Copies of this chain bind each other. A is one copy, B any other.
Amino acid sequence: MATIRDVARMAEVSISTVSLALNDPDRVKPETREKVLKIASSIGYSADPIAQTLKSGRSKMIGVVVTDINNPFFGNLLHEIEQQAYKDNYMVLLSDTGGDPARELAIMNHMAGQRVAGILLSTCVQEGQSIEHIRQLKMPCVLFDQQFDSLGRDFVGSDNELAAAMLTRHLLELGHRDICMLGGATGIFTSRMRANGFIDTMRAAGIEVRPDMILDAEYRADRAYDITLKLFAGQRRPTAIVAASNVIALGALQALKDLAIDCPEDVSLVGIDDVPWSGLIVPKITSAVQQIDLLARKASQMLMRRIAEYGKDAAQPETCIFSPKLVMGGSTAKPPSS
């Protein structure tokens, strides 16, 4: 690979002149610039990104940290982020925490070591646990999906309360009263918000939500499956289920299917977020879907802006909330007449 010294030698100028010609063209004489540029392109010279990173302290990579790449929500998001990054001439350094805060910490240290220009983070840290590694991070960082108040960081996400509220209202309007929610741990931002949306809407309809009506499926399909089985083994069966995520909804649907409980005739089911090929799943699950492309683009943009203005006096942290869309499927009906 050609180095800047090769170019300098061939152009019969010093390496500093070459560097200047390339990075600050106005500071060298036009003829010199021409000569340097011509030679540089003729031997296919381009500056070594590693050397530039060492000198400047930042690379042309952005880090993306998610809890589970396999979740289609993150998959789609990642795709969009990668497209954006490519346009801006950045590469994506990806990592998956698997929901382990210790690993999240390790990953972020790794990324910092690689001098990523910034990080897009969907943290798996729960309320009450330490978030010092985020707070003390000395580089641009935009949180998405999972928020932490009072962290003073940018955030891009969806209106999770609204998502749950829309779905709950839909069920209430159909006449359901006995509704269960399958959610995540309350330590997780999105599950807390989604639970709130559920509780508030129920309460507004004059129905008090008992704690045992909100079950923790940990955002996992297998847990949702088990819980649903158990739920319908008991005496008091709900007539409808609000699933706090796409995979929870699918796990629940699988359980209903295996129990030969008809959805929507016997039990209605709604969920949050889409899955690929949802049109082929019978019944198609009525859901409040996040606008992933908007979300990804906005998060990328915000990060890029932070990267650009890094070092200057930073703007106030910004929060951007998108509204989910209600997509009707065939998974809801009036409750069976009792």
Contact = CB atoms under 8 A, between A and B. Distances in A.
Interface of A: 46, 48-51, 53-54, 59, 61, 68-70, 72, 75-76, 78-79, 82-83, 86, 91-96, 103, 110-111, 113-115, 250, 253-254, 257, 275-277, 279-282
Most buried by B among A51, A68, A91: A91
Contact of A254 (B48, B49, B79, B280): B280
Contacts of A49: 113-114
A276 B275 contact: yes
A276 B72 contact: yes
Contacts of A281: 277, 280-282
A48 B109 CA distance: 11
A201 B122 CA distance: 49
Given A61-B114, A114-B50, A276 B82 contact: no
Given A61-B114, A280-B250, A282-B282, A91 B82 contact: no
Contacts of A95: 82, 86, 91-92
Given A93-B94, A275-B277, A277-B277, 14 more contacts: A48-B54, A48-B113, A49-B114, A50-B53, A50-B113, A50-B114, A70-B76, A79-B96, A82-B95, A86-B103, A92-B93, A253-B280, A257-B280, A281-B282
Nearest to A285: B280
B115 A50 contact: yes
A196 to B, nearest CB: 28
A257 B70 CA distance: 27
A254 B59 CA distance: 45
Most buried by B among A48, A68, A75: A75
A70 B75 contact: yes
Given A93-B91, A281-B277, A79 B69 contact: yes
Contact of A75 (B50, B69, B86, B254): B69
Given A49-B114, A70-B75, A82 B96 contact: yes
B61 A69 contact: no
A70 B79 contact: yes
A68 B83 CA distance: 11
Contact of A94 (B54, B92, B280): B92
A115 B91 CA distance: 13
A210 to B, nearest CB: 30
Nearest to A111: B91
A82 B75 CA distance: 14
Contacts of A83: 96
A175 B284 CA distance: 33
A253 B278 CA distance: 12
5 contacts: A69-B82, A70-B276, A83-B96, A250-B280, A281-B281
Contacts of A68: 79
A25 to B, nearest CB: 22
A250 B92 CA distance: 30
A182 to B, nearest CB: 16
Contact of A279 (B69, B94, B110, B254): B254
